[in-house]
Amino acid sequence: MVSDGYYYALALVGAAVLLGWLAGPLWALPACLLALFFLWFFRDPERAIPAEAGLVVSPADGKVTDVSATNLDGKPCTRISIFLNVFDVHVNRSPITGVIKSAVYKPGKYLNAMDATSAEANEQNIVTVEGDGLTVVFKQIAGLLARRIVFNYKPGDAIVRGQRVGLIKFGSRTDVILPRPSDVMVQVGDRVKGGSSVLARVPVRQKSAPEPVHEGTEAVR
């Protein structure tokens, strides 16, 4: 459970007690139901994180609404968009293991997250992670109801695949931008789970082996 759920629920339980005392038990029922909804909404289930090298996992629960070609810094990439409705888990997770190179907050509008223009126009947090010789960008994008984006880390922090990194409240969208070539494992309409569903397989760059030092020679320092 995300701690926010307890705060909302406690406030609503307090309101329910007050309404029940002032107006009767029936008036307290809506507040009690809302308290239960918030406890359920802020659930944070454990997930089985795949360990195979080169996998990019979903940063969020939801429905894949777009898989398309795009460009990032002039380089061809693939964008995978995931829409989260109010019934999905809203905890966000890291798609890969690596180091956060940047985390840029961009104010914007609150268009319907299903709208293609929301990817650029809406309020969002843009996170760039580098690891395993590749760079992956994922965006936390606010939606029509979402009014708060939470990201718990900063540039320079090391994170691992599937690690909890933040939260978007009340309906939203996440975009993942992958380098090409990538073997995309999902299609539009698929349901995915944050941290456990594999979005793509990306070739891992092998580190070059150091030059051997032969007997009778001195290594250059």
Question: Which residues are part of the catalytic machinery?
Answer: 172
Q: Count CB neighbours of 124 within 10 A.
A: 24
CA distance 206 to 170: 41
Nearest to 187 by CA among 205, 204, 202, 199: 199
CA distance 197 to 61: 9
Tokens of 116: 């293609």
